[in-house]
Amino acid sequence: MSRLEGKVAVITGGAGGIGIAAAKRFVEEGAKVLLVDLDEQALVNASNEVGSNVSAYCVADVSSKADTDRFIQQAVDVFGGVDIFLANAGIEGEVIPFLEASEAMFDKVMAVNVKGVFLGVQSMFKAMQARGGGSIIITSSVAGIKGSSMLAPYVTSKHAVIGLMRSAALAGAEHNIRVNTVNPSPVETRMMRSLEEGMMPEDLNAAHDMMSATIPLGRYAEPKDIANMMLFLASDESTFLTGGVYMADGGTSAK
């Protein structure tokens, strides 16, 4: 039997690189998925790539409670419930010195990366209780355990969701709801192209090489590398794992 046979997953940031890779892995293992993002055409493309017969999509703003409740209800209406929630939506903000970071940018990053996760996790509890439990996976980052003077709002947000995860894990335990974070190092996605441009706009290849050199395995992760960890945490193979920070960082945090 497939590892996620009969399961339903909701994936925010579902039109991005990690979201699509996770959706594909989940579907390969028997799940049906609801993809959530802001860009409808990107969602249509992602759903077609994943398989429109086993996926649906919802255009929603994760920082809105009304939108959050709506996409959860859509998953219940279309697929019958929710077993897996991948809180993956996130934005990077600007690459800018700490003292130059604006209040507006800080608020925007925190709204998506922290408030969006809080609303999603809190609202998912009720849906998962109806199914007898579930697995919630939050995308944090290696930036969730390290600092960066050029990415303070982003780093702050990724530290924050680890605290949120641990609190939710304690609250969810009695309901058989497990909550964990996955913390990637740089991944070959749009977000890293944006960060590379912010670091070295005159030479993106040099920025890529510089970042790769900081990773002991010598390369960025591929989205499927992160998706494989998420699949494990979504599956029944990890039924005793909750409240954990799972590094998918090519050895970066070992330094």
Which one from 57, 154, 220, 246 is the annotated catalytic residue? 154
Identify whether 246 is a catalytic site residue: no
User: Distance between CA atoms of 105 and 87, rounded to whole angstroms?
Assistant: 21
The CA distance from 103 to 91, in Å, is 15
Strands 55-59, 134-139: pairing kind = unpaired
- Return the structure tokens found at 224: 């499927």
Tokens 């077993």 -> residue: 83
The closest alpha carbon to 240, from 167, 133, 154, 126, belongs to: 133
Q: Please say whether the beta carbons of 207 and 157 come within 8 A.
A: no
User: Which amino acids are annotated catalytic?
Assistant: 154
